[in-house]
Amino acid sequence: MIDEVQPAPDSRVLVIIPAYNEQDSILDVVTSVKSAGYDYIVVNDGSSDATLEICRMHGIRVLSLPNNLGIGGAVQAGHMFAREFDYDIDIQFDGDGQHDSAYLCGLVEQIQNGADLAVGSRYLDASDGFKSTLLRRIGQIWLSGCLRLFCGVRITDPTSGLRACGRRAISLYADDYPIDYPEPESIAVAVRQGYTVREIPVTMHERQGGVSSIDALSSIYYMVKVTLAIIIAAFNTGRRRS
């Protein structure tokens, strides 16, 4: 269900804000994106809290999914929206308050300069921003190594949800986007297509509210699943090239 969604005729960049139970942060996140001068769409992923009500109350442009599809399904819905309304670039920007709108311009510039996928990395410089837990940082190093070994690409922050896509990547992901823990696998898919993937340094913040979808009990499953997904994506000759 789409609430009052009309594409802005002069906007070529769309910020996709996936949101699942982000009632504590969604208003501030949307305000920051709007203040930076970007068009946006919130994808409400079947939230059970007041996320949708807050969006409606404040006139926020929202695409409301009837059921919780997970981050992959929510982001894919945003890519489908971007392709349907002919955006040149879309940017995933999480609804939990971790991302900083100051870096949107840098991601757009990478796409304009030839990248198909641009990723915001916490680990390219020595900033004092939020880096996540030690266990997750170890996982980042592992997944980064898998991408380098199997895909030949050096990505320092493979789980980053702050990323921009050009037209080719938008079309690719609108048709086929990983559902479960999608960020590292989607990088492997893009590389397999021969797309250019770059990173820029960013600073991230701790989430303003809500709960992460990955806890300690699911960490082992996450690492095994994503590692296998990267390997499969790296060698999957059935992926289309555009």
Q: Which pLDDT does position 140 carry in this prediction?
A: 86
Reported as type and span, the H/E element at residue 242 is none
Q: Which pLDDT does position 238 carry in this prediction?
A: 47
Residue 134: CA atoms inside 13 Å, Cβ hemisphere, count? 0
Query: pLDDT higher for 171 or 239?
Result: 171
Taking the C-alpha atoms of residue 17 and residue 21, their distance in angstroms, rounded to an integer, is: 12
Q: Which pLDDT does position 148 carry in this prediction?
A: 93
Query: pLDDT higher for 209 or 228?
Result: 228
| Residues paired with 40 in a beta bridge | 15
Mean predicted confidence (pLDDT) in 198-216? 72
Token digits for 126?
A: 């020595």
Q: DSSP string of 71-87?
A: HHHHHHHHHHHHHHTT-
Q: For residue 82, which amino acid is it? A: A
pLDDT in tens, 110-149: 999 999 999 999 998 755 555 566 677 788 899 999 999 9
Question: Does residue 237 carry a pLDDT above 80?
Answer: no
Is the Cα torsion angle 35, 24, 92, 136 positive or negative in sign? Answer: positive
Q: Which pLDDT does position 124 carry in this prediction?
A: 86
Contact 44, 53 (CB under 8 A): no
Burial (CB < 10 A; 0-12, 13-18, 19+), residue 11, is middle
> What domains can be seen in the chain, in order of their start residue?
2-235 (3.90.550.10)
Q: Which of 186, 122, 107, 198 is nearest to 154 (CA)?
A: 198
| Residues paired with 65 in a beta bridge | 45
Q: What's this model's pTM, rounded to 2 decimal places?
A: 0.86
Confidence bin at 206 (pLDDT 50/70/90): confident
Residues 6+ apart with CB under 8 A from 24: 208, 209, 210
pLDDT in tens, 60-104: 999 999 999 999 999 999 999 999 999 999 999 999 999 999 999
